[in-house]
Structure 1
Amino acid sequence: MRTLALLAMLVALPASAHDFWLQPQSFHPAPGALLPLTLQVGHGPYRQRSPLPVRRIVRFQDVAPDGTASDLRAALHPGEADEDGAVRLTAPGTHVLVLETDDRAQSHLPALRFNDYLTVEGLTPALELRRAGHRMDADGAENYSRRAKVLVRVGSGGSSAPVTRPLGLTLEIVPEVDPYALPRPADLPVRICYEGRPLAGALVKLTDLAHDAEPLETHRTDGDGRARFPLPDAGDWLLNVIWTKPQPPTAETDFETVFSSLSFGFPRR
């Protein structure tokens, strides 16, 4: 009975439990203040501190308002009681913290759950490939990696130039305007880039991190890789997207998948 209950829980586990992001203690710190942050994964009852080991993090940078990139990997210490790292950001303006992992992690799922995951996350090309290969009844396996950006507004004034340009991630959410510079309410246009090109047909989700069991809104990117979301007035928010491509026949897994997120927040009034 215990085994059956565990299997039922695994089948029910939502695909959104894969979502990963950087959560600073504040999105609006004073210049030079110590800013703790945590690595988060999952939503609703499945949300938790990520168990990601530091050895898998290949990039953690602060891209300052003037575009200067600083290596912050030494500031990470995942698994401590209250935080997974802490940074000091001094220059006024919008900073982009960027985290990237290697792709050594693997996921192996029963066919039913793997197909459900591909459907929920909008990975239509992968589903079509499985159908064409008559593999809908086969278990699924993927290597996966994570990309996360967080927008931190330090003090007042300053630039926000890095916010609106790609920063070299395999899969990346790029706002076309700094959300902190927009009046609210307003719409936030974003571009999704995959391997340096606009990505059409990707499912992008906007989640209120205070009520995160389900996304607030979802949109597919258009032919230019663009989507548009209503800009929230307050609170902490997450945009996320997932994309995958088939592995070579000699690989251990079927697909190479990338999870990407962008987190930002506004003070509650």
Structure 2
Amino acid sequence: MPHRVSSFAVALAALCCAPAAAHDFWVQPEPYRPESQAAIALTLQVGHGRDRQRSAIALRRIQRFEALASDGRRVDLRPQLQPDPRAPVDARFAVPAGAWMLVLETDAGAQSRLPAPRFNDYLRAEGLTPALEQRRLQGRDGAEGSERYSRRSKALLRVGAGVAPAEVAALLARPVGLPLEILLDADPHARGARLPVRVLWQGRPLPGALVKLTRLENDAEPLDARRTDAGGRAEFAAPGAGTWLLNAIWTRPLPADAEVDFETTFSSLSFEIPVQAPR
């Protein structure tokens, strides 16, 4: 069964010493519940609390930015994307009524190198125990650690009035082809007793991943964190009204002749629960 992470406060303290690459990244539409064909403003966000800021990622690194509907419609939004922290927004766009999933993917062109203590603390804080164990077995837990990394983010939109719950549920539970992907097996608007999460790695259930749940209106630290079970599943207590972020990280070792030790993927899913959610 999925379980709550023990010594979570210790892990969060270690995370404060982690590299900038460990900061959570997400796409944030305003609003999450627009009128049909109304303009939606979007920003790319990174970090939490005092470290939260607009992402300065270069457009050339963004390989995919699109909106997907439950009926298979796709809208390529990359032409509307001009990332610039100095501008009011990074993109403006509109989509027809219905449930839509925004999907953004970057390349793995960014790199991070850290002294051994900081790299090991980062791996522990993010639950990357296989990487820690590999470093120990190779006698490299006292050596500098390095990685290249990519970002994969989703955000749920409900456009217009009367969006069918079945439409939303289908989008939340359906993979969109990300190498590391967070899925929900229930619509958080339904306000059930639990929020069931699934994590896939290369299309298969991922056990042992650390999933964090953060309320973005008060994001100095995650509200909760759970590890996935053998089936890649975890459960949180159902969150209340607000804007929420789920995120997970996974890494894989690279060959000995590679420029860095690991390739790491950061994945997130953001969504909003209104004060007056339907029951």
* TM-score of the two chains, using structure 1 as the length reference: 0.91
Matches within 5 A, 1:101-140: 101-140=106-145
Question: 1:210 is paired with a residue of what secondary structure?
Answer: helix
Task: Kindly provide the amino acid, as one letter, of the partner of residue 176 in structure 2.
Answer: L
Counterpart check, 1:81 vs 2:90 = no
Q: 2:9 aligns to what?
A: none
Give ranges in structure 2 of 5+ residues lacking alignment. Answer: 1-14
1:249 to 256, 261, 279: 256
Structure 2 contact 35–97 (Cα < 8 Å) conserved: no
Q: 2:205 aligns to what?
A: 198
Structure 2 contact 17–122 (Cα < 8 Å) conserved: no
Whole-angstrom CA distance in 1 between matches of 2:42 and 2:35: 15
1:170 to 175, 179, 197: 179
Q: Between the two proteins, what is the percent identity of the paired residues?
A: 56
More displaced 10-residue stretch of structure 1: 157-166 or 231-240: 157-166
Following superposition, the deviation at residue 207 of structure 1 comes to: 0.4
Matches within 5 A, 1:1-269: 12-14=16-18, 17-79=22-84, 80-92=86-98, 94-155=99-160, 156-158=162-164, 159-160=167-168, 161-180=170-189, 182=190, 184=191, 186-268=193-275
Following superposition, the deviation at residue 268 of structure 1 comes to: 3.8
Whole-angstrom CA distance in 2 between matches of 1:14 and 1:146: 17
* Pairs aligned (count): 257
Following superposition, the deviation at residue 12 of structure 1 comes to: 4.7
Following superposition, the deviation at residue 213 of structure 1 comes to: 1.2
Give ranges in structure 1 of 5+ residues lacking alignment. Answer: 1-10
* TM-score of the two chains, using structure 2 as the length reference: 0.88
Task: Kindly provide the amino acid, as one letter, of the partner of residue 186 in structure 1.
Answer: A
Structure 1 contact 164–178 (Cα < 8 Å) conserved: no
Whole-angstrom CA distance in 2 between matches of 1:268 and 1:162: 22
Structure 2 contact 25–268 (Cα < 8 Å) conserved: yes
Question: 2:217 is paired with a residue of what secondary structure?
Answer: coil
Following superposition, the deviation at residue 14 of structure 1 comes to: 4.4
Task: Kindly provide the amino acid, as one letter, of the partner of residue 33 in structure 1.
Answer: A
Evaluate the alpha carbon distance shift between residue 12 and residue 194 of structure 1 in structure 2; reply closer, same or farther with a 3 A threshold: closer
Question: 1:258 is paired with a residue of what secondary structure?
Answer: strand
